[in-house]
């Protein structure tokens, strides 16, 4: 019975690792905005992540800002030039589109472009991303969540249950620790099997 239970546990652990790996692969393959879940009315630093897929470099990234989402400032991005389309001026300016050009992000790497922003109403905000490669190829990340080219979504909630950014960081560390522990356990089980398949009982 103990051996059967151990096998079931190992199966669950393997499935968990596979599921986690699938999520990581999906995140790397698609353009996305992080953090993806925030509290309304709270200013956050967001990162637009745009992976390069193909032999040409990513040379330009254009982001259309969803209505109701306010960008306050941008973080300097060495190697990139930034142009902003907005209505109004100063603190009253409403950014509707921002374009970064002049980059040179090769295959296997990603562009990381940051800004500070917030939304005062809860809901899902879709950031339409247009990625242009040095060979002229264009990738439009503007589709539905179920499509091959989904637009990055930021979900704004009324409350995060008192968690906020610190809870998000703690959860991330907890997940990392869990995955490391799972990998260590599986490596140990594999080592025991190689040494003769001795019983776990």
Between residues 82 and 179, the one the model is more confident about: 82
pLDDT of residue 175: 55
Is 97's pLDDT higher than 80?
A: yes
The helix/strand/coil state of 59 is strand
pLDDT digits (tens, 9 = 90+) for 176-187: 656 555 665 555
pLDDT of residue 91: 80
Q: What percent of the chain has pLDDT over 90?
A: 61
Left if phi > 0, otherwise alpha if psi is -120 to 50, otherwise beta: which for 103? Answer: beta
Question: DSSP H helical segments within the chain, as ranges?
Answer: 2-29, 164-194
Residues whose CB falls within 8 Å of the CB of residue 57, separated by 6 or more in sequence, listed in order: 103, 104, 105, 106, 107, 133, 134
pLDDT of residue 157: 97
Give yes or no for a contact between 134 and 56, defined as CB atoms under 8 angstroms apart. yes
Strand 37-39 relative to strand 153-157: parallel, antiparallel, unpaired?
parallel
Residue among 154, 171, 147 at smallest CA distance from 26 = 147
Per-residue CA distances from 120 to 68, 86, 151, 152, 178 (Å) = 7, 19, 21, 19, 35
Is 105's pLDDT higher than 50?
A: yes
pLDDT of residue 3: 46
Report the alpha-carbon distance of residue 20 to residue 111 in Å, rounded: 23
Give yes or no for a contact between 74 and 82, defined as CB atoms under 8 angstroms apart. yes
Residue 169 in tokens: 């960081």
Is 169's pLDDT higher than 90?
A: no
Report the alpha-carbon distance of residue 65 to residue 125 in Å, rounded: 9
pLDDT digits (tens, 9 = 90+) for 132-165: 999 999 999 999 999 999 999 999 999 987 544 4
The model's pTM: 0.67
Query: Reading across the β-sheet that carries 138-141, which strands appear in turn?
Result: 81-87, 94-105, 58-64, 128-133, 138-141
Report the alpha-carbon distance of residue 4 to residue 201 in Å, rounded: 10
pLDDT of residue 18: 41
Is 22's pLDDT higher than 60?
A: no
């Amino acid at each position: 019975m103990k051996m059967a239970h151990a096998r079931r546990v190992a199966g669950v652990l393997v499935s968990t690792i596979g599921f986690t790996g699938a999520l990581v692969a999906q995140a790397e393959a698609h353009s996305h905005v992080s953090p993806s879940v925030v509290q309304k009315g709270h200013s956050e630093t967001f990162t637009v992540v745009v992976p390069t897929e193909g032999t040409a470099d990513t040379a330009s990234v254009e982001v259309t800002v969803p209505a109701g989402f306010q960008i306050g400032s941008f973080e300097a991005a060495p190697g990139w030039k930034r142009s902003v389309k907005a209505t109004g001026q100063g603190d009253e300016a409403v950014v509707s589109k921002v374009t970064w050009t002049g980059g040179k992000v090769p295959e296997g790497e990603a562009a990381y472009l940051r800004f500070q922003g917030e939304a005062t109403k809860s809901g899902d905000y879709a950031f339409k991303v247009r990625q242009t490669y040095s060979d002229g190829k264009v990738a439009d990340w503007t589709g539905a969540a179920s499509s091959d080219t989904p637009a990055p979504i930021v979900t704004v909630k009324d409350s995060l249950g008192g968690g906020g950014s610190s809870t998000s960081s703690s959860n991330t560390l907890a997940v990392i620790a869990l995955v490391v522990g799972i990998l260590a356990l599986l490596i140990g089980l594999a080592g025991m099997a190689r040494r003769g398949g001795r019983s776990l009982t």
